[in-house]
Amino acid sequence: MAAFGIATGGGNWFSALALGVTFLKCLLIPTYHSTDFEVHRNWLAITHSLPISRWYYEATSEWTLDYPPFFAWFEYALSHVAKYFDQEMLNVHNLNYSSSRTLLFQRFSVIFTDALFVYAVHECCKCIDGNKAGKELTEKPKFILSVLLLWNFGLLIVDHIHFQYNGFLFGLMLLSIARLFQKRHMEGAFLFAVLLHFKHIYLYVAPAYDGSIRWSSFSFLRLISLGLMVFLVSALSLGPFLALDQLPQVFSRLFPFKRGLCHAYWAPNFWALYNALDKVLSVIGLQLKLLDPNKIPKASMTSGLVQQFQHTVLPSVTPLVTLICTLVAILPSIFCLWFKPQGPKGFLRSLILCALSSFMFGWHVHEKAILLAVLPMSLLSVGKAGDASIFLILTTTGHYSLFPLLFTAPELPIKILLMLLFTIYSISSLKTLFRKEKPLFNWMETFYLLGLGPLEVFCEFVFPFTSRKLKYPFIPLFLTSVYCAVGITYAWFKLYVSVLTDPPVGKTKKQ
Amino acid sequence: MEKWYLMTAVVLIGLTVRWTVSLNSYSGAGKPPMFGDYEAQRHWQEITFNLPIKQWYFNSSDNNLQYWGLDYPPLTAYHSLLCAYVAQLINPDWIALHTSRGYESQAHKLFMRATVLIADLLIYIPAVVLYCCCLKEISTKKKIANVLCILLYPGLILIDYGHFQNRYNSVSLGFALWGVLGVSCNWDLLGSLAFCLAVNYKQMELYHSLPFFCFLLGKCFKKGLKGKGFVLFVKLACTVLASFIICWLPFFTEREQTLQVLRRLFPDKVANIWCSFSVFLKIKDILPHHIQILISFCFTFLSLLPACIKLTLQPSPRVFRFTLILTLSFMLFKFKLSEIPREAEGTLVVSEVSCALSFFLFSFQVHEKSILLNDLLQFYFFIKPVCLVLSEIPFMSTWFLLVSTFSMVPLLLKDELLMPSVVTTMAFFIACATSFSIFEKTSEEELHLKSFSISVRKYLPRFTFLPRIIQHLFLISVITMVLLTLMTVTLDPPQKLPDLFTVLKSEENELALFPDVKNVNSAKRFCELLLCVNEIIILRIMDLHEEMEDGPVAPYF
């Protein structure tokens, strides 16, 4: 019924919101774009001008194709539109080519493929119950949710300024979640399998999908058909490369373990805290003369330039350790999902936990990966006050940690304004939604979130004008990632506690 | 206020849009020797910073008035000086005398854009927000929607942040709005002070001064000329005088100084305005210049006189706002005609005018709707057709503002601002359409009409089609605008003239314009002609509105 209401009567505001954000995206076209722009241009060129057998071997540019085959096909399809814009961008040897037409085409390709995301958000809005809706449109959970998803700060700056194709990928993910909510499990699983072959980062949340088989009325036939379907999708994607006997090469491209533990800018996760602790200990050690200054490796990891580094005091971390940590962190939530089935909401919770846990402990995590937890969390946030408070802490710190992605001066006002817009809106609207319940934040959380303001002022406005800028250029990044890591760890912990302590839905109903 | 966060969000959206537009190109970028308005603004900073105040408005070896000489009132000059001090701190090269001519760099662009944003943030935006908050009789939601639409008005954004006009429009408009706000909230002294600042920032604001004067005078009359009214009058006079004297103080030292500034502010080129009337009549050939100027002034004054007398007799904020619109509309009519010979200058003037119009129109429609619907529609059904037009003010004003933005397309194309202008215009349209649901309003009115249809047919049956006709007109004009924009972008104008001709022809039936069409030989001018027609039609409807304005008031006495 509610869905019907949206489709007919209240559909107007949704299209206005979607159109509004689309116009904003169009206005962002002339902004700075990162090397990812060149990456995707190069992939267009590779897929367009080379045979399939060369796709995963081509290495003229340093930005080799390292996404799964479906994404390559996606670029292939795009390239057939691109040739009408500018033939030159499809030349593999045209490195760093960027004409105004290329720019327009690439930017618009992101904006257009976002249509899938908009559709997915529309579907997601149908899934949440609008029973406790206020009379005002702006106080309805559906409205709030669609603003939180459509106008998501992280997605806007990562896709439309920094340049990536996350929009339609997240669209697939949200759509698959929506299908699970609508009890169309096969479709949901199918969409997710497809998504995995678009971008393998979503493997992080795959365990939650495994767990979801349990509550979706487990049966042997179902398992078989699911397995068959996943197999077919994989065959479609990887089959050609298997036939060409290139599978090892594809996998070596997809999973490069040669990079360091942390990205040049530390993603705000557990390892950021670990590194920071190591740094602090080494400084203390030097002060107290417990460490020999000559033994400390010169290539200090905080300089942000070196990817392979050694810890001074604490033991160094290997990929295997991170893998074990991640698995250990994920397991409880999967067990929880398996033995305490809580319906789609429980699945969503464990999906977010998977995403967050792998973000916390993963090897060479990008700060952008936080969106993997933020977007599904938006769905939860409009349902329960406790979730809303976790969501707000996670989102605000997670989004703030994206700030270093945009370091150019013209984009500074944009990121601050958009961040303020999203943060003020999300906090105030959720507060209004749950005004009858206890306050969303305790004093400590409020203090922490308010601290982001002075941090930003220090990092962007004060520090660059001080004399220490040349000596310690990495200080702003270091502070940002450590400060945000605290918040994200806290949110992760709080979410875990809430998942483990919550009674299963089924039991509460029986009582 | 309960919904403060939505208001904040709306303001932030406005700011974001402004800044994203400012990432685009500006007028005269990389076009020596004169560059554009951007360079003018930078040049003023250079002049005001390096020369003593006495030489600002004089031609000298250091100050070539032919090269973007200062031709705005002192407050603009002071603002330039202030910006120059900041520029000096960041990079002295930006304002070095002589050597900095045509200086362009990414950092400097950023600085100039930031000055506009800051001026906007300090003066214009607070005025808009406060103004909308002070509107009575409308819900909080409507107030927020109102702020959103005013802040998203593309004309002002594109001119200030894209084109970079050589005067911060938002400052003078903001001051004027503060003036309106003050006067309508009974803070008369504050209002008149703000308005004096606006006039001292940009002489264009003088056009608004008549309604201001009449309104305040009317207030004094109302309080009794012998008692409180006189005190108020003296206070107001003192405020105005004092603010003017303070602004002009450095130029009062010598008679020649003051005269020179005045000469710079009101040059002879005013004469051109009336010449352009030659589209209709060849007045240019018949009358000498100074008589033309005289006629133009008389016309403007006369056309305003009735409204001003009414305002003096009945100083209510509502009438005041309306008279303001009226001033603008007549001025617009006048300037509209002026723009045809002088493309760029003309469109700029139009843009300014329509910028000024935007918030009055918006406040007006929201304000008026309830009264008109309740009073007029139910009691005076014989004038209902016009009431329909009245209650369609959201519709009409959206239309008007869209057209006004469209009028700037040629100018914006020249500055490579097509993309942002198209996007912001569409965004504005969506914002208006959603927040005021303009299309639903018209059909709603039709329903109202049906309930009264019998009685209406008794008197003036054909008027029942008016709303529908207007709707169609709106659609046609929007489609034409889109088509013309597409054509100006994609086609080479001269060869394709016949096509434009037909489009124009089917669009409006203002045949009066056609005799001169042959003289107009570019698509851009066609756009402007089309605009004239469009806006004239809208203004006529507004005039009808004005006539009706007298209607409902009379029976109460």
ipTM of this complex prediction, to 2 decimal places = 0.89
| Domain count within chain A | 2
pLDDT of B340 reads 31
Average pLDDT for residues B477-493, to the nearest whole number? Answer: 68
Residue B234 at interface with chain A, using a CB cutoff of 8 Å:
no
Q: Is the pLDDT of residue A300 over 60?
A: no
Q: Which two tokens stand for residue A505?
A: 């839905």
At B396, is the pLDDT very low, low, confident or very high (cuts 50, 70, 90)?
low
Q: Return the pLDDT at B361.
A: 37
Structural domain contains residue B332: no
Q: Is A312 helix (H, G, I), strand (E, B) or coil?
A: coil
Percentage of chain B modeled with pLDDT above 90: 5
> Half-sphere exposure of A369 toward its Cβ, with a 13 Å CA cutoff?
29
By C-alpha distance, the chain B residue nearest A429 is B5
Q: At a CB cut-off of 8 Å and minimum separation 6, what does A204 contact? A: A354, A355, A358, A359, A362, A369, A372
B265, B289, B304 — which closes off a domain?
Answer: B265
For residue B172, pLDDT beyond 90: no
Q: Are A210 and A334 in contact (CB under 8 A)?
A: yes
Chain A residue whose CA is closest to B90:
A465
Tell me the mean pLDDT in the region B437-445: 54
Instruction: Confirm if A108 and A117 have CB atoms less than 8 A apart.
Output: no
Residues A46 and A143 in one domain: yes
User: Does residue A98 sit within a domain?
Assistant: yes
CA distances from B392 to B148, B361, B388, B455 (A): 19, 12, 6, 21
What does pTM read for this prediction?
0.82
Q: Which one, of A483, A294, A339, lies nearest residue A401 by Cα?
A: A483
Separation of alpha carbons B20 and B248, rounded Å? 37
> Does some domain include residue A510?
no
A68/A157 same-domain check: yes
Examine residue A374 and state whether it is found in any structural domain, yes or no: yes
Highest mean pLDDT among A203-217, A418-432, B487-501: A418-432
User: Under a CB-based contact definition with an 8 Å cutoff, are residues A228 and A237 in contact?
Assistant: no
Query: Considering the domain boundaries, does residue A7 fall inside one?
Result: no
Q: What is the pLDDT of residues B323-367, one digit of tens each?
A: 555 554 444 433 333 333 333 333 334 433 443 443 333 333 333
Q: Is the Cβ–Cβ distance between B13 and B148 less than 8 Å?
A: yes
* Residue B454 CB neighbours (<10 A): 8
Give B360 or B556, the one with higher predicted confidence.
Answer: B360
Q: Do B5 and A425 touch (CB under 8 A)?
A: yes
Contact A139, A432 (CB under 8 A): yes
Please indicate whether residue A5 or residue B403 has the higher confidence score (pLDDT): B403
Digit-coded pLDDT (tens) for A412-470? 999 999 999 999 999 999 988 888 888 888 899 999 999 999 999 998 888 888 877 77
Residue A34 scores a pLDDT above 80 = yes
Are the Cβ atoms of A13 and B110 closer than 8 angstroms?
Answer: no
Question: Quick one: pLDDT band at residue A286, thresholds 50, 70, 90?
Answer: confident
Write out the residue range of the structural domain in which residue A397 sits: 270-501
Statement to judge: residues A397 and A284 lie in one domain: yes
Q: b/e per residue, B221-252, with b = 16+ CB within 10 A?
A: ebbeeeeebeebbeebeebbeebbeebbeebe
- Whether B15 has its CB under 8 Å from any CB of chain A: the answer is yes
Which stretch, A57-66, A499-508, B369-378, B540-549, has highest mean pLDDT?
A: A57-66
Side-chain-facing half-sphere of B204: CA atoms under 13 Å:
25
Q: What is the pLDDT of residues B62-97, one digit of tens each?
A: 777 778 778 788 888 899 999 999 999 988 888 888
Lowest mean pLDDT among A171-185, B61-75, B112-126, B349-363: B349-363
Answer whether residue A262 is part of any domain.
Answer: no
User: Residue A346 has which token pair?
Assistant: 């429980």
Q: Which residues contact A235 (CB under 8 A, 6 or more apart)?
A: none
Closest CA to A272 of A285, A377, A264: A264
Residue B336 in contact with residue B536, Cβ under 8 Å? yes
* Domain membership flag for residue B160: yes
Asked, for residue B489, whether it belongs to a domain, the answer is yes
Do A30 and A145 share a domain, yes or no?
yes
User: Which structural domain range is residue B518 located in?
Assistant: 442-544
**CB contact at 8 A, A149 and A174:** yes
Kindly determine whether residue B20 and residue A414, on different chains, have CB atoms separated by under 8 Å: yes
Q: Using beta carbons and an 8 Å cutoff, which residues of A are at the interface with B?
A: 12-13, 16, 19-20, 23-24, 26-31, 136, 138, 409-410, 413-414, 417-418, 420-421, 424-425, 427-429, 432
pLDDT at B31 over 70: yes
The answer to whether position A265 is within a domain reads no
| Mean pLDDT value across chain A | 83
Same domain, A319 and A450: yes
What is d(CA A422, CA B547) in angstroms, rounded to the nearest whole number?
Answer: 47
pLDDT at A390 over 50: yes
Tell me the C-alpha distance between B197 and B174, whole Å. 10
> % helix / strand / coil in chain A, to the nearest 5?
75, 0, 25
Residues A162 and A224 both lie in one domain: yes
Q: Which range, of A13-17, A152-156, A484-488, averages the lowest pLDDT?
A: A13-17
- Looking at residue A121, its pLDDT comes to 93
Q: How far apart are CA B352 and CA B83, in angstroms?
A: 23
How many CA atoms lie less than 13 Å away from A16 in the CB half-sphere? 16
Does residue A274 share a domain with residue A250? no
- Is residue A113 within 8 A of residue A168, CB to CB? The reply is yes
Q: Which of A19, A138, A409 sits opposite B110 (nearest CB)?
A: A409
* CA-wise closest residue to A400 among A485, A303, A496: A485
Instruction: Give tens-digit pLDDT for A314-344.
Output: 777 778 888 888 888 888 888 877 777 677 8
Taking the CA of residue B440 and the nearest CA in chain A, the distance in Å comes to 12
Question: How many CB pairs lie under 8 A apart between chains A and B?
Answer: 74
More confident residue, A68 or B279: A68
Cβ within 8 Å, pair B423-A418: no
> What mean pLDDT comes out for the span B114-118?
90
A100: in domain: yes
Identify the domain boundary among A189, A224, A254: A254
Vertex B376 angle, CA B374 and B378, to 5°: 65
| CB–CB contact B19 A24 (8 Å) | no
pLDDT score recorded for residue A77 = 92
Least confident of A186-190, A445-449, B24-28, B447-451: B447-451
The total number of residues shown for chain A amounts to 511
| C-alpha span between A76 and A48 (Å, rounded) | 6
A226-237 confidence digits (pLDDT tens): 888 888 888 888
A488 lies in the same domain as A440: yes
The candidate with the shortest Cα–Cα distance to A458, out of A449, A448, A447, A469, is A469
Torsion of CA B546, B552, B553, B557, to 10 degrees: 150
Give contacts of B424 with chain A, Cβ < 8 Å. 23, 27
Residue B474 covered by a domain: yes
pLDDT band at B1 (very low <50, low <70, confident <90, very high): low
Q: What is the largest CA-CA distance in chain A?
A: 73
**Contact residues on chain A for B21, CB-CB shorter than 8 A:** 27
Which of residues A201, A221, A254 is at a domain's end?
A: A254
Res B276 pLDDT > 70: no
pLDDT average, residue stretch B217-233: 80
- Supply the pLDDT for residue A396: 93
Task: Check pLDDT > 50 for residue B555.
Answer: no
Q: How does DSSP classify residue A457?
A: I
Q: Between B483 and A372, name the one with better pLDDT.
A: A372
pLDDT single digits (tens) A394-408:
999 999 999 988 888
- CA dihedral sign, ordered B483, B486, B487, B488: positive
Q: A111 falls in which pLDDT band (50, 70, 90)?
A: very high
CB burial readout B379-395, b (16+ within 10 A) else e: eebbbbbbbbbbbbbbb
A213 assigned to some structural domain: yes
pLDDT band at B263 (very low <50, low <70, confident <90, very high): confident
Q: Domain end: B247, B265, B283, which one?
A: B265
Q: What is the pLDDT of residue B461?
A: 57
- Are residues A228 and A132 part of one domain? yes
Name the one residue in this structure whose structure tokens are 């900095």: B100
- Give the nearest partner residue to A414 out of B13, B19, B114, using CB atoms: B19
What pLDDT, on a 0 to 100 scale, did the predictor assign at position B358? 39
B477, B399 contact by CB (below 8 A): yes
With an 8 Å Cβ cutoff, are B24 and A418 in contact? no
pLDDT tens, position by position, B191-201: 889 989 988 88
Q: Tell me which of A25-39, A246-260, A482-496, B481-495 is least confident.
A: B481-495
Please say whether the beta carbons of B125 and B14 come within 8 A.
Answer: yes
B427 touches chain A (CB under 8 A): yes
DSSP string, B396-439: HHHHHHHHHHHTTHHHHHHTT-HHHHHHHHHHHHHHHHHHH-HH
Q: How many CB atoms lie within 10 A of CB A103?
A: 19
Q: Are B153 and B14 in contact (CB under 8 A)?
A: no
Using CB atoms, pick whichever of A12, A29, A424 lies closest to residue B434.
Answer: A12
Kindly report which listed range (B204-218, B246-260, B329-343) carries the lowest average pLDDT score: B329-343
For position A451, what pLDDT does the model report?
92
For residue A365, give the 3-state DSSP assignment. Answer: strand
Report whether A261 contacts A274 (CB < 8 A): no
Question: From A427, which residue of chain B is nearest by alpha-carbon distance?
Answer: B5
**B407, B418, B412: which is closest to B340 by C-alpha?**
B407
Cα dihedral B383, B389, B390, B391 sign? positive
Take residue A21 and report the two structure tokens written for it. 């954000």
Considering the domain architecture, whether residues A274 and A218 belong to the same structural domain is answered as no
Residue B501, pLDDT > 60, answer no
Nearest CA in chain A to B420: A27
- Write down the pLDDT at residue B173: 77
Which H, E and C letters describe A195-243, residue by residue?
HHCCCHHHHHHHHHHHHHHHHCCCCHHHHHHHHHHHHHHHHHHHHHHHH
Query: CA of A35, closest CA in chain B: separation in Å?
Result: 20
Domain's final residue, options A220, A254, A288: A254
Of B123 and B352, the one with more pLDDT: B123
Q: For residues B406 and B414, what is the distance between their CA atoms, to the nearest angstrom?
A: 14
Regarding whether A229 and A309 lie in a shared domain, the answer is no
Q: Which of A56, A109, A49 is nearest to A81 (CA)?
A: A109
- CA–CA separation, B504 and B533 (whole Å): 10
A354-363, A383-392, A471-480, B24-33: least confident range: B24-33
Chain B residue at shortest CA distance from A422: B9
**Number of domains composing chain B:** 2
Query: What is residue B82's predicted lDDT score, i.e. its pLDDT?
Result: 92
Nearest to A502 by CA among A330, A380, A395: A380
Residue B399, pLDDT > 80, answer no
* pLDDT averaged over every residue in chain B: 65
Q: Is residue B356 part of a domain?
A: no
Kindly indicate the confidence band of residue A5, based on its pLDDT and cuts at 50, 70 and 90: very low
**Are both A36 and A143 inside the same structural domain?**
yes
Please compute, for residue B288, the number of CA atoms within 13 A of its CA located in the half-sphere on the CB side. Answer: 2
Percent of chain A whose pLDDT exceeds 70: 87
The token pair that represents A396 in the structure block:
């605000």
Task: Take residue B548 and report the two structure tokens written for it.
Answer: 């009706």
Q: Which of A247-256, A380-389, B197-206 has the highest average model confidence (pLDDT)? A: A380-389
Query: Helices B523-553 & B497-507, crossing angle to 10 degrees?
Result: 10
**Dist. CA A173–CA A372, nearest whole Å:** 9
Contact A189, A230 (CB under 8 A): yes
